[in-house]
Amino acid sequence: MDIRSIAKESVWRIRHEVMWPDRELAFVQLEDDDMGRHYGLFVGERLVSVVSLFIDRDEAQFRKFATLEAEQGKGYGSRLLRHVMEEAEQAGVKRIWCNARREKAAFYRKFGLRETDRTFVKGGKEYVIMEYPITFLHGTS
């Protein structure tokens, strides 16, 4: 198992297959993908999980986190998310956040993310904004 920085084009296939298979590929391509850091978890040479990290001053958002369905439940996504959270912390961010699908909120809570009162619906799916205040949880604020 290996986590690597990858090109934005490398994340699109898994984003599409896992998150929005009924939409066109362009639906999973973000306007600001050029601004992100894209990571992939490989088992051997097979890419099985992806996530994109967008850092803006002292905040970071991870987006389009997806693991191939056949590879879910094996700890790959957890390992990749931990890696991205560490990358954000090393970059000096004070808060990391995401738009979590409501049904996935319990997964993110295991990593210390907390649900906010901000929700929205996109493509018929309900989302909640979740956040992890790094300095608060590390006791440095």
Given this model, what pLDDT does residue 135 score? 57
At 90-139, the pLDDT tens digits run 999 999 999 999 999 999 999 999 999 999 998 888 999 999 987 544 44
Helices (H), the chain: 8-19, 76-90, 105-109, 134-137
Say if residue 72's pLDDT is above 70: yes
The number of distinct structural domains making up the chain is 1
Q: What is the CA radius of gyration of the chain?
A: 15
Residue 41: CA atoms inside 13 Å, Cβ hemisphere, count? 22
Q: Which structural domain, as residue segments, surrounds residue 107?
A: 2-137
Given this model, what pLDDT does residue 141 score? 40
Whole-model pTM: value is 0.87
- Summarize the confidence of residues 62-87 as an average pLDDT: 95
Report the CATH number that the domain containing residue 33 is assigned in CATH: 3.40.630.30
Chain length of the chain: 141
Say if residue 53's pLDDT is above 90: yes
